Structure 1
Amino acid sequence: MITYVIDDAGALSGPVAFPDIPGFGSQLPGNATHLPKILAAPEPGKTWALVDGQAQQVRDQRGRVYRTADGTAEIWQQLGELPEDLTSQPCPGENFTWVNKQWTLDVYAQRSSLSAQMLEQRDTRLRDAQLRIAPLQYAEKLGMATPEEQASLLDWMHYSVELNRIEQQDHFPGTIVWPDQPQRH
């Protein structure tokens, strides 16, 4: 008889030999079994396991797998086919969804994400522009603005309006022509 060890998932490994225990002889651990012959190498992606007391090749997808709902990774430790909500294919990146047993780029989600990023950049530039505009507006309102400050205020205001209109560009959000920041301070 040939001895194999059974791991926690039920896979067979071996053959193995256990030494005789003095005074007791040959002892078989609880996680071992005898088989009549040496098992052949399993097919790729499979392993040997006991199924209803018989050695059979079963699918072995143990290891890192991914949730089809969101692509998050986890460790799978069971033999057999994966449940429908898991795959061995890693999610290639943001904005991919699981469709027809494969990751597919969600173009709408990608465009929406890129749009949000571009609008965030725009808003940062608008905040920076407002920091330049506010003191110039105060000087103008108080009648203290120099001709250079008045010209600078107009430049910054035009810049802000152009920033606010980036969504109207033909290739937004994929390609944006950012307005030049005014040079006059």
Structure 2
Amino acid sequence: MITYLIDDAGALSGPITFPPIPGFGPQLPGNAVQVPKTLATPELGKTWALIDGATQQIRDLRGTVFRTTDGIEQSWRQLGELPEGLTPQPWPGEHFKWIDEQWTLDESAQRAAQSAQVLDHRDNLLRDAQLRIAPLQYAEKLGTATPEEQASLMDWMRYSVELNRIEQQDQFPSAIVWPPQPQPQRR
């Protein structure tokens, strides 16, 4: 008889030979089983298991698996096929959905996220521009704006308009040509 160890999932590993214990002879641990012959190397992705007292090859997907609903990884410790909702295919990342037994990029979700990110950056730049424009507008309204301040006001207003039009660019939102920020007027 050939000795194998059996793990908690039922997978066999071995063969194992245990030396006899003096005075007791051969002793097998509780997680050892004996089979009539040496088992062949299992097929790729399978392992030998003891099922209903008989050895057979069974699918071995133990380890890290991914939920098909959200891509979150989890540990799988059982032999056999994975249940519905789990896959051994790693989740490629944000905006991928499980469609037809594979991860597929959801281009519309990706585009929407890119768009939101670009517009958020644009809005931050517009807020910064408004902080520059306000005092220049006050000076103009009070009639105290210098020619440099009037030119600077025009530059910042043009910059704001260009920022506001980035959605009209052909490659929006994947490739944006950001307008250059106005430079201070030289005196």
Q: Same fold (TM over 0.5)?
A: yes
Cα distance between partner residues in 2 of 1:10 and 1:144? 87
Equivalent in the alignment of 2:121: 121
Matches within 5 A, 1:146-185: 146-185=146-185
1:28 and 2:28 are equivalent in the alignment: yes
Deviation at 1:13, TM superposition (A): 0.6
Three-state SS of the structure 2 residue aligned to 1:16 is: coil
Matches within 5 A, 1:28-107: 28-107=28-107
Equivalent in the alignment of 1:12: 12
Cα distance between partner residues in 1 of 2:149 and 2:43? 79
Equivalent residue letter for 1:165:
R
Deviation at 1:78, TM superposition (A): 1.3
Cα distance between partner residues in 2 of 1:22 and 1:180? 86
Deviation at 1:25, TM superposition (A): 2.4
| TM-score of the two chains, using structure 1 as the length reference | 0.92
Cα distance between partner residues in 2 of 1:20 and 1:63? 35
Structure 2, unmatched stretches of 5+, are: none
State the 4+ residue runs in structure 1 displaced beyond 3 angstroms.
none
Cα distance between partner residues in 2 of 1:39 and 1:79? 18
Equivalent residue letter for 1:81:
E
Deviation at 1:144, TM superposition (A): 2.2
Structure 1, unmatched stretches of 5+, are: none
